[in-house]
Amino acid sequence: MMEVLNGRSEFVYDNDTAVSWEMLGFRAVRRGDFKLVWLPVPFGVDDWQLYDLSKDPAELNDMSQEHPELRNEMIGIWKQYFKEVGVILPPGGALRMDISLPPSD
């Protein structure tokens, strides 16, 4: 990040570098323009979906059927991340959060 902040680079990561993350059972991998996400029901389809963010920044069109090899490769990247950092997924899937607002008085 310092290279970008100091003006020596325009990018934090190059297009070949994969970055993985997870939170509360939600999972993702980003490499270049592609992003692989796992969103549990009711937020998603409870399976991996692949998006080309250069053409679909809103993540509306799953490209898994058009790019099955890339999808599988990125799933492998996430599995490696899972092992390396010791991810512990919530039992029974993603943590269900009550996002309703309290009643107003």
Evaluate whether 94 touches 24 at the Cβ level (below 8 Å).
yes
What's the pTM value of the predicted model, to 2 decimals? 0.76
Q: Of 38, 43, 33, nearest to 13 (Cα)?
A: 33
Q: What is the pLDDT of residues 33-79, one digit of tens each?
A: 999 999 988 888 989 999 999 999 999 999 999 999 999 999 999 99
Structural domains for the chain: 17-85 (3.30.1120.10)
Q: What is the pLDDT of residues 73-94, one digit of tens each?
A: 999 999 999 999 988 777 766 6
